[in-house]
Structure 1
Amino acid sequence: MDMRWGDAPAESQESLVRAFLDDISDLGYAAFDAFCIDPDTVLSPVREGNWAVASYDLGIVRDYMTDGVAAICPALAEAGRSLRPYDYVALLESQADNASARWQRRLLRLFGVNHAWLVPMSSLRFIKGVTVYMTGRGETAAQRFLATRDEIHLKAIHFFEALEATGPTIPEDMAGLLEGVGPLTNREAECLGWAAQGKTNCDIAAILGISENTVRYHFKNVLAKLGARTRVQAVALFRSPRVPGNNGPGGGPAGEV
């Protein structure tokens, strides 16, 4: 097996990326990404310890992060609990009711990706993994995809270990795009939690001892932070356990308005 991207102990990140892409290209794959993220910071990813490296421009997933759909990503949830590579495209197709899965599937179709393995390497704190993408169609591509699973698994493990040793971060241009994405405050989470219970602004104001104008102000911030267009969409995102500040009603100190 060709381990050329892992031969030198102190290779640069750029050389590792080039060599791994060459390596998986020999197996019929067109692109990859590698990532490490604390699930509690999905909506505010520019944090120490989080990083992403890809053979493509990460700017294409900017809306995925800022629109809030990353918080309900089934692929991240699966990567956090799986030990073996899984069929990323098949997982997305099985989650047709999930907004994040639909967003990702549309993007993959746009680039002609029909097969992909996600190789999870998560730890107790971080969700980690490598995803490799194949663009071929038909029975030949499907057979090659299945036949290369174990080899991709081994190559991805060695690549990830070598890459992590270089101290990767979120690329500066991508980090700049994400700076405005922040977590909910305790008060914002409380308001949204009560909305998820069917409470009106008037109800929430009475429960929390604040004015209706203040409730509306908190919801304005919530919609902006979650990238939601409506309160219904914000509630759907909030129900994901990966939304920072999601303690639900009574789930912690209220904090200052």
Structure 2
Amino acid sequence: MPYAITIVPVMPLRAAAAHKSEMISQVLWGECVEITDTGTDGWVKVKCQSDSYEGWATTVHLEIIDNQLFNAQVTHFMPHWSNTVLLNGQPMVVPYGCTIKGSNGNEAYWGGIKVQFGEDPGAMQALPARPVIHELRGIAFHFLNTAYLWGGKSVFGIDCSGFTQSVFKLCGISLLRDAYQQATQGDVLDFLQEARLGDLAFFDNAEGRITHVGILLNDHEIIHAAGKVRVDNIDNQGIINADTGLRTHQLRIIKRYLQS
């Protein structure tokens, strides 16, 4: 099946081949997909390269690429809340954290599209050569106050697992897309008191299904997407809203993804 790269700032990924269908996730500019099926009216089913998540997208948001670019290493990401790039000479604003592959200095060729990143040395930031946690707090706080958006994965709107996945990606750690999937990764911690920066806390509903996830800053604070990306208090029972003092989420499990 053909490979493609996303050429719009944020591409909706939908449950079915229709604009009115539920947005189940997003694919950011510069991320690659494999086209697995073809629908009507320009819709294609795609599988995301980074996490194998599947959904429907429109071909106008994609550019067909060869397997060499598809398999190329991601080397840099866009470091500012909004970043201006040129696609075939036309400006486009893309969000923080969009990743880049196939770059040669300050430009790249994605299929038939010439991408230019700007002459400023700060226009791109290198991804870490190996997983790191010490930069996680600064990366997470780039998303602070971003509005909650079901299926969202950018600073323009994000959901809880999109937030954790996006932050960890820029630290060189791959997470699956949804909270219940992320809970299958990593190593279990026995006690909240053992927690440190970068551990993930998962929360369940009344039926016992994991429905929420956030990033622990320490053993008593968590940053998570709930209404907006915010910092709240956490104890052995769960999250306590820092503004209202009300308990909002019931703690289920804590996982660690990078050992010191």
Shorter chain as normaliser: what TM range?
under 0.3
Q: Which protein is bigger by CA-based radius of gyration?
A: 1
Structure with a larger share of its residues in strand: 2
Structure with a larger share of its residues in helix: 1
Structure-2-length-normalised TM-score:
0.26
